[in-house]
Chain A
Amino acid sequence: MSHWIIQRISSVLLLFLLSFTIFVDFRFYILLAACIAVHVNHGFDSIFLDYVHNAQAKNALSTLVKFALFASFVFIGVILL
């Protein structure tokens, strides 16, 4: 249930923040990045939950996604801000 709520809230925020950050005020980038991180992380968790049956592999993949997201957001933020 909490997974479902988080996924829905982050998707609604994404719809607004994506256009707002790009076209109105780029300072909302941090909030946008947080929303994307939550949404993408939960999306991948759903996929891993369905297709990866090993708990350790599932956790490792989830951590990898978190790390990759964090690294790319820092990189994009440093260049564009």
Chain B
Amino acid sequence: MRKELSPHLTIYSTQISSGLSIFHRMTGVILAGAIMLVIPAMLAYTFFGNGIEIAFEIFYPILFVIMGAISYHAANGIRHFIWDTGAYVSTEGVKTTAVLLAILAASFFCSLLYVLV
């Protein structure tokens, strides 16, 4: 029988800690996809598209997804730094930092919105 080697999504019920951790990886993959595919594609379209500009209806949703992903990923990265010091490594601590994470990610997103849009 083939056994699972690591905490797989199919084994555990969703918790705040695992959910946020999975979302951290998902946003990382989204950002990597943005770097490897979306940004080069947009640049190629802009520079080699014979002056055709990307429609706002396409550009802004992509920009907002990237901004959201980078805000969450950076905020959760800072949360990992806090955990690295040994602080908040408990069930209550995880819940507390989850709230702080939401506030920090929202403030990052608003800052990016203010600077870029």
Question: Which A residues contact B (CB, under 8 angstroms)?
Answer: 8, 11, 15, 36, 40, 43-44, 47, 49-51, 53, 65, 68-69, 71-72, 75-76, 79-80
B81 lies within 8 A of chain A by Cβ:
yes
Residues of B within 8 A of A69 (CB): 35-36
Residues of A within 8 A of B40 (CB): 72, 75-76
Question: Which B residues contact A (CB, under 8 angstroms)?
Answer: 5-8, 25, 28-29, 31-32, 35-37, 39-40, 43-44, 47, 74, 77, 81, 84
Residues of A within 8 A of B31 (CB): 40
CA distance A75 to B37 in the complex (A): 11
Contact of B32 among A43, A49, A80 (CB under 8 A): A43
Closest to A47 in B: B25
A36-B74 CB under 8 A given contacts A8-B81, A75-B43: no
Interchain residue pairs with CB less than 8 A apart (16): A11-B77, A36-B35, A47-B25, A47-B29, A50-B6, A53-B5, A65-B32, A68-B36, A71-B36, A72-B37, A72-B40, A75-B43, A75-B44, A76-B39, A79-B43, A79-B44
CA distance A17 to B2 in the complex (A): 44
A43-B28 CB under 8 A given contacts A75-B43, A76-B43: yes
Residues of A within 8 A of B7 (CB): 50
Closest to A74 in B: B40
CB distance from B70 to the nearest CB of A (A): 8
* Contact indicator A72/B35 (Cβ below 8 Å): yes
Closest to A37 in B: B35
Residues of B within 8 A of A36 (CB): 35
Residues of A within 8 A of B37 (CB): 72
Closest to A11 in B: B77
CB distance from A21 to the nearest CB of B (A): 13
CA distance A80 to B6 in the complex (A): 41
